[in-house]
Amino acid sequence: MTAVKIPVDAVELAGELVLPPATSGVVLFAHGSGSSRFSPRTPLLPTC
């Protein structure tokens, strides 16, 4: 696990990045206010 900070305008978004061995890429998904990981659309995102 690696601590990450993503600068966005005047703030920083803090998070943790965990990658499985032999990862060849990363897709960053961010969603807006009022959305959640339980949204019916979230499962439509590709998983690798």
> What is residue 32's predicted lDDT score, i.e. its pLDDT?
66
Please choose, from the candidates 31, 21, 28, the residue with its C-alpha nearest in 3D space to the C-alpha of residue 4: 28
> What is residue 17's predicted lDDT score, i.e. its pLDDT?
87
Range of the domain at 34: 2-44
Do the beta carbons of residue 3 and residue 14 sit within 8 Å?
yes
**Per-residue confidence in pLDDT tens, the chain, 48 aa:** 889 998 989 999 888 888 889 988 887 776 666 667 677 777 766 665
> What is residue 31's predicted lDDT score, i.e. its pLDDT?
65
Return the SS3 of 34: coil
> For the chain, how big is the Rg over CA atoms in Å?
13
- List the beta bridge partners of residue 8: 11
CA 45 to mean position of chain CA atoms: 12
> What is residue 9's predicted lDDT score, i.e. its pLDDT?
92
Count of domains observed in the chain: 1
